[in-house]
């Protein structure tokens, strides 16, 4: 069965508080805290890019696994904020890390559910052929969204998380993953400009359309709670487990109110739900692997624990995964 051989995470040093945002747009700490639970987030330095964040998280994960770049057989990067438009961030990461000429690919556009989808793909690859797969979730959202749209800019932060997966041994077993998609809800969270339907133009760039994330906030909220709860219950049912068997639930960190609502719907005690959205905001496809690394590194996970990960993202996608430590 697929195992997690090592965990890694990285956040940039620069802290951006709600007070910092209130000096740039018409918002307040009170509004952001009461609606989202976010107090601060990290923003990449000017000379940092997606590749740098990915590299740092990957190095931590490889060190934790006791592996060298030469040992990695495949690389997957889940991101909606790639290093460049073409090629994929994974190719650049392979070169940066000094890995062999192994296959690499990005899983892009899946929003915040992308990293769980990526570990699902990786475990299928490992089942087909025993290999060590580096799976990174990274987002440098601060550079690609509008700093003038108060409805979205205050929600996000930059981070990266990573694991190395392998065919056995390691620190935890990736027991199961369930994921799903409802493409009819693509319009509730979308960035339209830059693709073939709405290519970049001088006018659209001048209007800042390429940085305009359209979000139907209340619909995203509703779908997020509904889907993260139901996919977690489906996963538990398939594993013949119940809520009390979960030692720690690590949900996508979009918003504390969403996390609380999922916890209430599942009937799981607050102390068994991992939360770091107050310190890092929504870091897209990095929230789950970075949270997993923080929980592991901070001693929140003990041998024998069943840890459940769950996420939702633009698509509309949802996914849950179970790790047995
Ligand atoms: N500061 C102050 N006022 C603001 C801000 C801000 N940063 N942003 C919006 N407002 C205003 C709006 O303009 C609006 O004013 P109006 O009534 O005069 O028009 C008012 O606040 C209420 O706006 P709503 O959008 O109705 O605010 P709501 O209470 O729904 O909260 C929020 C918005 C936090 C986005 C909420 O809908 C939500 O949590 N949605 C879930 C979406 C989410 O978390 N997305 C994260 C990304 S998605 C992902 O991770 C996959």
Look at residue 3 and tell me whether its pLDDT is greater than 90.
yes
Instruction: Please give the mean pLDDT across all residues of the chain.
Output: 97
Centroid of ligand 1 to alpha carbon of 46 (angstroms): 28
Work out the pLDDT band at 149, boundaries 50, 70, 90: very high
- Average of pLDDT values for 258-276? 98
- Rounded to the nearest 10 degrees, how much is the dihedral formed by the CA atoms of 198, 203, 205, 207? -100
Residues 6+ apart with CB under 8 A from 48: 12, 140
pLDDT digits (tens, 9 = 90+) for 68-89: 999 999 999 999 999 999 999 9
317 is catalytic: no
pLDDT reported for residue 57: 98
Look at residue 29 and tell me whether its pLDDT is greater than 90.
yes
In this structure, the residue with its CA closest to atom 33 of ligand 1 is 217
99 is catalytic: no
Of 147, 222, 223, 255, the one to substitute when testing ligand 1's pocket (max ligand atoms within 8 A of C-beta) is 255
Work out the pLDDT band at 306, boundaries 50, 70, 90: very high
Of 155, 187, 218, 280, the one to substitute when testing ligand 1's pocket (max ligand atoms within 8 A of C-beta) is 218
Work out the pLDDT band at 111, boundaries 50, 70, 90: confident
Work out the pLDDT band at 109, boundaries 50, 70, 90: confident
Q: Give domain 2-170's CATH number out of 3.40.47.10, 3.30.530.20, 3.40.30.10, 3.20.20.70.
A: 3.40.47.10
Fold adopted by 175-324: Peroxisomal Thiolase; Chain A, domain 1 (3.40.47)
Tell me the domain boundaries of the chain. 2-170, 175-324
Name which of 136, 86, 128, 65 is nearest 107 in CA terms.
136
pLDDT reported for residue 2: 97
pLDDT reported for residue 228: 98
- Average of pLDDT values for 122-143? 97
Helix %, strand %, coil % of the chain (to 5): 45, 25, 30
User: Relative to the CA of 313, which ligand 1 atom is closest?
Assistant: 51
- Average of pLDDT values for 164-181? 96
- Rounded to the nearest 10 degrees, how much is the dihedral formed by the CA atoms of 273, 278, 279, 283? 80
Q: In whole angstroms, what is the distance from residue 38 CA to residue 56 CA? A: 24
pLDDT reported for residue 110: 84
Q: Is 218 in the pocket of ligand 1 (CB under 6 A)?
A: yes
pLDDT reported for residue 18: 98
Q: Do domains 2-170 and 175-324 have the same CATH topology?
A: yes
- Average of pLDDT values for 234-244? 98
């Amino acid at each position: 069965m697929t195992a997690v051989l090592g965990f890694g995470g990285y956040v940039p040093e620069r802290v951006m508080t709600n007070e910092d945002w209130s000096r740039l747009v018409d918002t307040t700490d009170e509004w952001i805290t009461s609606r989202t639970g976010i107090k601060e987030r990290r923003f990449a330095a000017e000379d940092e890019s997606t590749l740098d964040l990915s590299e740092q998280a990957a190095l931590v994960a490889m060190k934790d696994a006791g592996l060298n770049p030469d040992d990695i057989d495949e690389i997957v990067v889940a991101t909606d904020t790639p290093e460049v438009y073409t090629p994929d961030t994974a190719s650049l990461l392979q070169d940066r890390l000094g890995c062999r000429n192994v296959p690499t690919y990005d899983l892009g556009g899946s929003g915040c559910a992308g990293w769980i989808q990526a570990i699902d793909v990786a475990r299928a690859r490992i089942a087909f052929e025993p290999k060590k797969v580096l799976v990174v979730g990274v987002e440098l959202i601060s550079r690609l969204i509008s700093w003038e749209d108060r409805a979205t800019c205050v929600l996000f932060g930059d981070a990266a998380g990573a694991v190395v997966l392998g065919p056995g041994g390691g620190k935890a077993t990736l027991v199961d993953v369930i994921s799903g998609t409802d493409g009819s809800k693509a319009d509730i969270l979308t960035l339209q400009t830059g693709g073939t339907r709405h290519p970049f133009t001088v006018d659209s760039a001048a209007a800042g359309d390429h940085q305009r994330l359209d979000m139907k906030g209340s619909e995203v909220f509703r779908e997020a709670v509904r889907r993260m709860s139901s996919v977690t219950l489906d996963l538990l049912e398939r594993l013949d487990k119940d809520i009390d068997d979960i030692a720690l639930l690590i949900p996508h960190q979009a918003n504390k109110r969403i996390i609380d609502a999922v916890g209430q719907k599942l009937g799981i005690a607050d102390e068994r739900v991992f939360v770091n959205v107050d310190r890092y905001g929504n870091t897209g496809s990095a929230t789950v692997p970075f949270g997993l690394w923080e929980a592991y590194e901070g001693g929140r996970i003990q041998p024998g624990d069943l840890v459940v990960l769950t996420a939702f993202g633009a698509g509309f996608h949802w996914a849950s995964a179970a790790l047995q430590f």
